[in-house]
Chains A and B, each alone.
Chain A
Amino acid sequence: MRSGVRERLAGRLIDAIGADAVRTEPEDLAVYSFDAFSGETLPSAAVLPKDARDVSAIVRIASELGEPIVPRGAGTGLCGGATPARGGIVMSFARMNRILSLDAPNRRARVQPGVINLELSKQAEPQGLFFGPDPSSQKISTLGGNVGTNAGGPHALSYGSMTNHVIGLEFVTQNGEVHHTSQDDPGYDLTSALVGSEGTLGIITAIDLKLLRVPPAILVCVAAFGDVESASAAVSAIVGAGIVPTALEIMDRTITQAVEAHYHAGFPLDAGAVLLVEIAGEPDDTDASERAIAKIAREHGALSWRSASEAAERDALWASRKGAAGAIGRIAPNYYIQDATVPRTRLPQALHRVDEIARDHHLQVGNVFHAGDGNLHPLLMFDRREPRQVKAVMAAGTEILEACIALGGTISGEHGIGYEKRNALPYVFSADDLATMARVREVFDPKRLFNPDKIFPSGAVCGEVRAQPQAAVGAGAWL
């Protein structure tokens, strides 16, 4: 961007929302250039609105000057959804981080998008309530970001993903108007359109959420298996028997050893895979469910079974599980995580294929995943400094997606498409399917300013949808 234009943009933004809420110096902008996936391009400006009025003013300016806007929560997204792929304005919600109301009798809360996911459950706990979706990033990721990607987490198995918990939204349209949606209103379901739209339809400024009653009894059980295939066969059998506990998670040996070295939660180090089962409800029910699940696990080769009912012990097990990706730092300098989802009975085949593909490409892989939902998270380990490894990782990633699609699955269960997987979208959807989604986008984002270059394959809206090789990570990848 030419410096004159940049100065004009900065001037307009400062006039509208104040100098302390606008960043334009390159050293300040660097932190807004990337998320947990990657990022190379600096934005022209970063803004920190304090309310919907600020957001509206920023959107009006961006719209007038033709500047893209990229909304950003905590930057924990794994698919490049919060990266300013073509510059423009990054909008951080760090100052819109208040819980606006917590209505215990009606079990709902209204929050600003910058509220940290876990904070809501903490605030609701004294009322016997909690918030369902719990992505592993929940200690740092924001509810606004969670809405954007339709985040899930281990408990999505029984509680569902964000879309099942958002009951209304406040959002700013491209012409700067502030709109409200509610699932209690008749009309087209704008709430459902906005959830999972990764900032491409409007800028969300407030979120109405459902809260759930804290169950009276919670058990977290750990079963050890010889390998990841038998653990996943056990999961398929548990679900197939019509038993849906609150969470069914698997970690393979690589992951278990990495997290155990860091957290010391007592996972069996000699097991090929560990199955983590959470069972919640009334005590009579949880005990009966545990017996039924343990029986199926043993029938599928479980080597041991241990259950934790005390909160401290449960929390330690969950902290380990949710810290798995971070613990990989002990093994490899970089990892690339996939998010493909398959029908749950196909888990053993999917895991087998992941293993084969990693071996073909001489890559080490760790598996830590939401088995109950069929949501895989293979972590392919590599060193970014080795171009050959980067290439192998990208090729393996694409093969894993193709394998999962061939098994009846899809390319994202909870991380979203973002920048990273947009050119893989045609693997799942036809040109007509994508053009239908694009109709929605054209209504909300006629100028293509809301998080451009995300979700849709390059050229999708012009009708040039076709399967393309996945974009590589790194400089020059932005299209």
Chain B
Amino acid sequence: MRRSSRPTAGGGRRGRLALTQATAPAPDPTPAELRLGEIVPREILTPASVDELAAILRARNESGEAVVIVGGGTLQGIGHAPRRYDLALRTTALNRTIEYEYRDLTIAVQAGMSLAELDATLAARGQFVPLDAPQAGRGTVGGVLASGWLGPRRAAYGRPRDLLIGTTVVLADGTVAKAGGMVVKNSTGYDMSRFYCGSLGTLAAVVRANFKTLPLPEVRRVALATLPEATRKHVLENIMRLDVEPVAAFAIDGFADAVDLHDDIDGRLFLLFEGSRVLIDRATRELRSLLGAAGVPDTTLIDAGAGQSFARLIDAYTVRIGDRSATYRSRGLPGDLFGRSATIARLARLHELHLERMEDMRTGDLIARVSAPVGAQFDERIVPFDTALHAATPRAQVIAAPESWRGSLAMWGAPPPSLDVMRAIKTRFDPKGTLAPGRFVGGI
């Protein structure tokens, strides 16, 4: 176990549990780097085994401390700041492959494994699990599941929880519980594995995840095109009618960090195709014919490096521009995507904020980043914008914003229905409010 601490008056929390040798090479974050809102954890621990993690949780639960489970820290921008935050409990030393039965197309890994390592492990056997989360080098499997992260390829392959076939978790009281298994089809008891997904570490710490894997496609191809305003309507109306569907399809305004075309061009099309060579070649011909008929000037195809292009686009979801941008995810039906997008554009103009958009045509997600120019008062604009945005699209969720704004923005959007049921669940799983109290929807 590794530990690092902010000096405390009595230092009384030190030495409660035995120290073990550091195992992972990555530099440890400082407590300040793991700040959530205005709260800095007093202590950081990085247990080297599930037993150790369970012992820590049991002890801290008994002593009434508040614990936030941290993976790579890449999706900590989601949710409220916790009400209390004594200990950051990192899973990053739990980073091994437990079982990889590649002939069964299943894998079990510890939850602290990075997404990049999972990808590399699977790719060596010609397989993948499309989790599609930002900063794959740092982001962890457990973090993706706990945050309920949703990537663009879920329309084609399912959500992370659709590929999840089993878990082991540690509850607030230190109980180690497993669910599911290593089979790809399972109706044996409640599907607790899916249930933990999206709970943001408020029910349990995920320590092991079993996935069904998919065979890698023969070809992965990105098609990029500029979309002059005159062509936009025709292209977007027809793009989802292609015979060969792209596995991800975006209309993008701004987000120059996401797409390596010219910086200041609005209106770009980003399509990702995956499949056999024959199929992707046909898709390309079909796409060129559609774009040509619409008057789109030209299309860039990326084969080698398509994966990196796609990863860069996903990274952009949570990139902040200094301390003067906020990124929202608005979910809904693909059919009303452009309507929601137009509403948000109008509100951004009204509040004099610069808007960048990624319209995900397959899932219906809208990723909207608003920012103020250098020197302008972002603070004075963002709160009224946030209010107006949630009046128009109540369920929009903040996925990246300056830490100091966590308390002022409606991070989760409007509370979901059945909040009373969710509160009862939290109480039943974590009666002392040990796990990230206040961080979840409705202040759970």
The chain A residues found within 8 Å of chain B, CB to CB, are: 103, 105-106, 108, 149-152, 156, 160-161, 163-164, 173, 179-190, 192-193, 195-197, 213, 216, 236, 239-240, 242-244, 281-282, 284-285, 288, 339, 341-345, 370, 373-375, 408-417, 425, 428-430, 432-437, 439-444, 455
Contacts and interface: CB of A to CB of B under 8 A. Distances in A.
B278 A184 contact: no
Contacts of A414: 185, 187
A184 B331 contact: yes
Contacts of B190: 193, 196-197, 437, 440-441, 455
Contacts of B158: 160, 164
B187 A434 contact: no
Contacts of A441: 190
Contact of A239 (B103, B278, B282, B333): B103
A161 to B, nearest CB: 6
Interface in B278-306: 278-279, 282
A412 B187 contact: yes
Interface in B194-238: 194-195, 197-199, 203, 214-216
B30 interface: no
A108 to B, nearest CB: 8
B265 interface: no
Nearest to A440: B190
A100 to B, nearest CB: 16
A190 B189 contact: no
B187 A243 contact: no
A243 B216 CA distance: 10
Given A184-B332, A189-B195, A236 B421 contact: no
B127 A242 contact: yes
Contact of A150 (B159, B187, B440): B187
Interface in B136-194: 148, 158-159, 161-162, 169, 171, 175-179, 181-192, 194
Contact of B186 (A182, A197, A412): A412
Contact of A373 (B185, B282, B332, B413): B185
A417 B418 contact: no
B395 A185 contact: yes
A345 B101 contact: yes
B243 A216 contact: yes
Contacts of B434: none
8 contacts: A156-B185, A187-B442, A189-B194, A213-B245, A282-B279, A342-B183, A374-B183, A443-B424
B176 A192 contact: no
B187 A242 contact: no
Contact of B428 (A181, A342, A434, A442): A442
The 6 closest A-B pairs by CB, nearest first: A242-B215, A240-B103, A192-B194, A185-B416, A436-B177, A187-B416
A400 to B, nearest CB: 15
Interface residues on B, range: 35 or more
Interface string B248-288: 00000000000000000000000000011011001000000
A106 B364 CA distance: 9
B428 A149 contact: no
Nearest to B125: A242
Contacts of A413: 183, 185-187
B214 to A, nearest CB: 8
B334 interface: yes
B395 A186 contact: yes
A434 B106 contact: no
A344 B104 contact: yes
Most buried by B among A103, A339, A410, A417: A410
B38 to A, nearest CB: 23
B185 A180 contact: no
A375 B185 contact: yes
B195 A179 contact: no
Interface of B: 101-106, 126-127, 148, 158-159, 161-162, 169, 171, 175-179, 181-192, 194-195, 197-199, 203, 214-216, 243-245, 275-276, 278-279, 282, 331-335, 364, 395, 397, 412-413, 415-419, 421-422, 424-425, 428-429, 440-442
B331 A179 contact: no
Contacts of A436: 169, 171, 175, 177, 179, 192
Contacts of B275: 285
Contacts of A105: 334-335
Most buried by A among B177, B203, B364, B429: B177
Contacts of A161: 185, 187
B395 A343 contact: no
A343 B189 contact: no
Contacts of A216: 243
Given A432-B175, A432-B176, A186 B198 contact: yes
Nearest to A171: B418
Most buried by B among A195, A236, A414, A439: A439
Given A160-B158, A284-B282, A187 B419 contact: yes
A425 B197 contact: no
A433 B177 contact: yes
B334 A411 contact: no
B185 A345 contact: no
B260 to A, nearest CB: 30
Given A173-B421, A341-B184, 4 more contacts: A105-B334, A187-B422, A189-B194, A192-B161
Nearest to B159: A183
A103 B332 CA distance: 14
Nearest to A237: B103
B215 A179 contact: no
B309 to A, nearest CB: 24
Nearest to A446: B424
A288 B335 contact: no
A197 B162 CA distance: 17
Contacts of A341: 183-186
A223 to B, nearest CB: 20
A479 B178 CA distance: 27
Given A184-B332, A185-B395, A187-B418, A425 B188 contact: yes
Contact of B181 (A151, A182, A428, A455): A428
Contact of A440 (B171, B192, B364, B413): B192
Contact of B421 (A190, A244, A345): A190
Given A186-B148, A344-B184, A413-B185, A192 B422 contact: no
Nearest to B197: A189
A440 B188 contact: no
A415 B189 CA distance: 11
Contact of B189 (A179, A183, A185, A417): A417
A343 B183 contact: yes
Given A149-B187, A409-B181, A236 B103 contact: yes
Contacts of B424: 443
